[in-house]
Structure 1
Amino acid sequence: MRIAVLSDIHGNLGALDAVRADIARRGADLIVDLGDLLSGPLQVEATADRLIALGWPTIAGNHERQVLNDPFERMSESDRHAVAHLRADQRDWLRGLPASLRLNDDVLMVHGTPRSDLECFIETIDASGMRAATSAEAAERAGDADARVILCGHTHVPRGLRLDDGRLIVNPGSVGLQAYADDRPHPYKVENDSPQARYAIVERGRDGEWRVEFVAVDYDWNAAAELALRNGRPDWARALATGRI
């Protein structure tokens, strides 16, 4: 079985379409999406329509939860932009997305970790910033989830980690945004150092073992950056154009 794994599109329709074209070229039995679909200063409505039409197995990320539930005055700029551009039928679609999804006996989809859509899985944020999580840290976050493959997003960092018990944790990186900064729970930044859209392919071999391939895809990131700038987000414009903040 060959699964293309997407996460953190953040309304970047150009990046999404480029990734779809690349998947069509490489081939996949299934395409799945790990959430944070729309929030950001880009093409919220058009991206929602595209994803609804595609009908992929999709879960909600923390931004979907925030857009649907948080008071407007407490929302981030990215979530406010999404709220302002979502139709009622699109909001209904978001409400129907599960927080996690078991694809089959082997594969579990989560956004952050099995217990939280805000928790980093294979990265750790501490007073020094963001670093790769240890195997022990990731195993504690995985808990008793018995899937052989756990797919996660949230951090925008493409990375895989095989735990000592053989479980494979895979973050495909972000389709739509390759750099950002945050201050919770400590100040940190993510920079993938290039603007390509990211996704991953996980595949079960003839030996039954699951393996992962990480993919970076060119698209018109300058057009995305220009749109972000027109919508008042120079921080996104730089991140989109360079993969740095």
Structure 2
Amino acid sequence: MKLAALADIHGNADALAAVLADARARGAERLVILGDHFSGPLDAAGTWAQLEGLDALCLRGNHDRYLLDQPRAAMGPSDGAAHDALPGAALDWLATLPPVLRFDGVFCCHGTPASDETYLCERITGDGAVAQRDGGTIARLLSGIEAGLILCAHSHLPRALRLADGRQVVNPGSVGCPAYVDEDPVPHRVESGFPEASYALLEPGAGGWDVLFRRVRYDSAAMVARAGSAERGEWASALRTGWIAP
């Protein structure tokens, strides 16, 4: 089984189209999407048009949850923009998504098994730097998860790790948002450093899962223009370069 793992589309319909085409061309037999489908100032409706009826396993990310749980007046600008652009059917669909998935020896979550707001493989230092967690901490966050492959998301950073007990942990990176700023637990930036759409192809091999990260080029001009029209300069910079402009 060749598995395509996608995450953190964040309403980038053009990046999603490019990734889906690439995954099909490379023979992906199963798609799994690890949450945060729509939130952002880009094209939530166009993203929904592609996801509606798509044969994929999908779970709920933290921003998907915010779209369901928060009153419109309490939403941040990214969630609010997506909420206003989406039809009711898209929100109804989000409400059906589980927080975690299990299939064929694979466990999937957005952040950690216990929290969609906690990075599994990264930690934020007191001065706002992004650092990789040590293997022991990751193993503790995955306590009770016996799957040989754990797929996670949330940090938007592609990463593949093998824990001391042999379990593999893979974050496919972000389809649609290669860099962002956040305030929790302290102000920080997460920057992939490349503007291409990221996902991962995985196949069972002799020693576990073989992982191929894909960085898919696409024409981001329309999405950059939408970010600019929404006065979201940090989004425009991220889409153009993979970095947040100073």
Q: What's the TM-score bracket when you normalise by the shorter of the two chains?
A: over 0.9
- Could you list the runs of 5+ residues in structure 2 that have no partner in the other structure? none
Aligned residue for 1:151?
A: 151
The one-letter code of the counterpart of 1:5 is: A
CA contact (8 A) 1:64 1:94 kept: yes
SS at match of 1:8: coil
Aligned residue for 1:61?
A: 61
SS at match of 1:155: coil
Aligned residue for 1:212?
A: 211
Shift in Å, 1:49: 2.2
SS at match of 2:57: coil
SS at match of 1:229: helix
Aligned residue for 2:88?
A: 88
Aligned residue for 1:226?
A: 225
| C-alpha separation in 2, matches of 1:202 and 1:188 | 30
The Cα offsets for residues 197-224 of structure 1, whole Å up to 9 and x where unpaired, read as: 000011101x262121111000012221
Shift in Å, 1:119: 0.7
Alignment of 1:179-198 (within 5 A): 179-198=179-198
Percent of aligned pairs with the same residue? 44
| C-alpha separation in 1, matches of 2:5 and 2:116 | 17
- List 4+ stretches of structure 1 deviating above 2 A: 71-74
Give TM-score scaled by structure 2 length: 0.96
**1:20 pairs with 2:27:** no
CA contact (8 A) 1:2 1:202 kept: yes
Aligned residue for 2:138?
A: 138
- Could you list the runs of 5+ residues in structure 1 that have no partner in the other structure? none
Shift in Å, 1:140: 1.1
The one-letter code of the counterpart of 2:137 is: E
| C-alpha separation in 1, matches of 2:49 and 2:92 | 12
Shift in Å, 1:55: 3.0
- Between stretches 125-134 and 163-172, larger displacement belongs to 125-134
Aligned residue for 2:170?
A: 170
| C-alpha separation in 2, matches of 1:123 and 1:220 | 30
The Cα offsets for residues 104-124 of structure 1, whole Å up to 9 and x where unpaired, read as: 2x1011000111101100111
How many residues align? The count is 243
Aligned residue for 1:111?
A: 110
Aligned residue for 2:100?
A: 100
SS at match of 1:54: coil
Give TM-score scaled by structure 1 length: 0.96
| C-alpha separation in 1, matches of 2:17 and 2:8 | 14
CA contact (8 A) 1:127 1:187 kept: no
| C-alpha separation in 2, matches of 1:21 and 1:60 | 23
The Cα offsets for residues 105-163 of structure 1, whole Å up to 9 and x where unpaired, read as: x1011000111101100111121321111101111111110110010000000001111
The Cα offsets for residues 36-69 of structure 1, whole Å up to 9 and x where unpaired, read as: 0000011111211211221310001000100110
| C-alpha separation in 1, matches of 2:113 and 2:215 | 26
| C-alpha separation in 2, matches of 1:194 and 1:124 | 21
| C-alpha separation in 2, matches of 1:107 and 1:131 | 26
Aligned residue for 2:243?
A: 244
